[in-house]
Structure 1
Amino acid sequence: MSFKVCVPVGTFLLAATLLACQQNTSKQEGQEQTVAGEALQAPYNPVFYDSLQTAMQSYYQLSAALVKADTAAANVAAAGLKLHVDSLPVSLLQMDSTHLGTISSTTGSISAELLAFPAEATLEGKREAFQMVSEMLFDLVRNTGLKGQTIYHQYCPMAFDNKGAYWLSDKPGILNPYFGDEMLECGETKDTLRYK
């Protein structure tokens, strides 16, 4: 084959390969969106999920108190959340010991952060502690599920001098616990976990 014939054929093959890769990427993105919209499994003991749902209700109360900048109500909600996290029946989770150890460690870390919550003298300090609890609680829910519930993982890019911070909600609307009335609807939902 001469050089004049090879160049056009080579160019055609390169273009066909790039087009095929681009179409494959589009198909994969479409599949990921479908999977993300499907309900996830929550396969563990219902007693655990009832207990975790009670803990989540206390978490949502804590978030609501921070939205209102009510430090007294936040302290009460944090104490309730600590009580519920401490009483989670982790032993009912039928999983391997390594995974169970991770869950136990996470609940212990949440409890420790909540124990120190009332000692945070400022609203800003309480919001920082809330951020840490939110991250750990999200990890816990992702590892165990929350039967019959939907969790919205929400994000404010401006929190803590534009470092950004996440929180959890049981509603899709934004009520920002890091700014409250100052920027109540600042934020977006980054992830949605729906459990069967």
Structure 2
Amino acid sequence: MKSSFIKIMVAAVMLLSTSINAQIKNAKTETVKVYGNCGMCKTTIEKTGSIKKIAKVDWNQETQMATLTYDTSVTNQDEILKRIALVGYDSDKFLAPDDVYNNLHGCCQYDRVAKVPVKEDNKTTASSEDHSNHNHSEMITTEVQKDNQLKVIFDNYFLLKDALISSDGTKTALASKELLTAINTVKMDKIEMDAHMVWMKVVDQLKEDAEHISDTKDIKHQRDHFTSLSKDMYTLIKAVKYETPVYFQFCPMYNDGKGANWLSKENAVKNPYYGSMMLSCGKTVETIK
């Protein structure tokens, strides 16, 4: 009787696993250590790490092992573990921010194991001769890409904004196509942890708006989507910051008097929603530094 019960339970677990994998395309399953204590931890870890039809996390309270099943074409282990770390739970790859860990409920504050994050530039060399053979330009390029991949997004946004100021639908479509390319080439696992969650929230809508703007030369349609695009770009730039001050500006006339915002590198107002018709209509409502 006991043997039959065990077989039924094993079959049920296998069926559940098959069901999860069927929902997630290109499914890959991995097991990793995620630190936590209680049922509250389990709920938070699983809810934060899971995304419908993209990723599923199952955390075992006794072993502190998390089973990750995810769509390899959309996400990866690092992205899932970063999200979990951002809500207070360490893994062997990513440490939660100290202030977030300290704000966990008392029963959730697990014993932290001191870990040093691995960095690309901390490679051990056997000798000075070996070090001399490193490709320094390649190492520098890697660091620049890590730091600047979101800056490229902002730079292309500003070019798109300037094209709208000129009321040139063709130029605007081309600029938006470049923006879309920049968005699609971002490597999410290279984004710093504090910006990662924001990027995950806005990236799909950024792509959708950029696609709409690039697929038409109708300036009215382009400007309508620029409104939504600018809203998400504002959310992103607040989390990431730009190398110079950025001005968040507002036009009270657009959208039947409801108004619309945009970002600019210049404090002087040049309205992308009306161009030369009402070039100076609007004002700076915030300076982002």
Normalised TM-score (structure 2):
0.47
Matches within 5 A, 1:97-176: 100-120=196-216, 122-146=218-242, 148-176=243-271
Counting helix residues as a fraction of each chain, which structure ranks higher?
1
Q: Distance in 1 between matches of 2:169 and 2:229?
A: 16
Bigger relative contact order (CA 8 A; separation at least 6) = 1
Instruction: Give a deviation string over 1:75-125, Cα, whole Å, max 9, x none.
Output: 0000001111222233223427xx734422312220122112234463111
1:93–1:119: structure 2 CA closer, same or farther, 3 Å change rule?
Answer: closer
Alignment equivalent of 2:172, drawn from 74, 79, 89 = 74
User: Would you identify which runs of 4 or more consecutive aligned residues in structure 1 move more than 3 Å?
Assistant: 45-49, 118-121
Q: Distance in 2 between matches of 1:129 and 1:48?
A: 29
Q: Does the CA-based 8 Å contact 1:150-1:170 persist in structure 2?
A: yes
Per the alignment, in what secondary structure is the counterpart of residue 162 of structure 1? coil
Unaligned stretches of 5+ residues in structure 1: 1-44
Unaligned stretches of 5+ residues in structure 2: 1-142
Q: Distance in 1 between matches of 2:173 and 2:159?
A: 10
Q: How many residues align?
A: 147
Aligned residue in 2 for 1:25: none
Q: Distance in 1 between matches of 2:260 and 2:248?
A: 10
Aligned amino acid, residue 250 of structure 2: Y
Aligned amino acid, residue 232 of structure 2: M
Q: Does the CA-based 8 Å contact 2:173-2:216 persist in structure 1?
A: no
Aligned amino acid, residue 187 of structure 2: P
Identity %: 24
Aligned residue in 1 for 2:279: 184
Q: Distance in 1 between matches of 2:147 and 2:251?
A: 28
Matches within 5 A, 1:8-87: 47-87=145-185
Q: Distance in 1 between matches of 2:215 and 2:196?
A: 30
Q: Distance in 2 between matches of 1:157 and 1:49?
A: 35
Q: Distance in 2 between matches of 1:113 and 1:157?
A: 22
Instruction: Give a deviation string over 1:121-143, Cα, whole Å, max 9, x none.
Output: 63111101111111101101112
Per the alignment, in what secondary structure is the counterpart of residue 255 of structure 2? helix
Q: Distance in 2 between matches of 1:123 and 1:145?
A: 29
Q: Does the CA-based 8 Å contact 1:48-1:88 persist in structure 2?
A: no
Q: Distance in 2 between matches of 1:55 and 1:112?
A: 15
Q: Distance in 1 between matches of 2:274 and 2:165?
A: 7
1:48–1:186: structure 2 CA closer, same or farther, 3 Å change rule?
Answer: farther
Aligned amino acid, residue 256 of structure 2: D
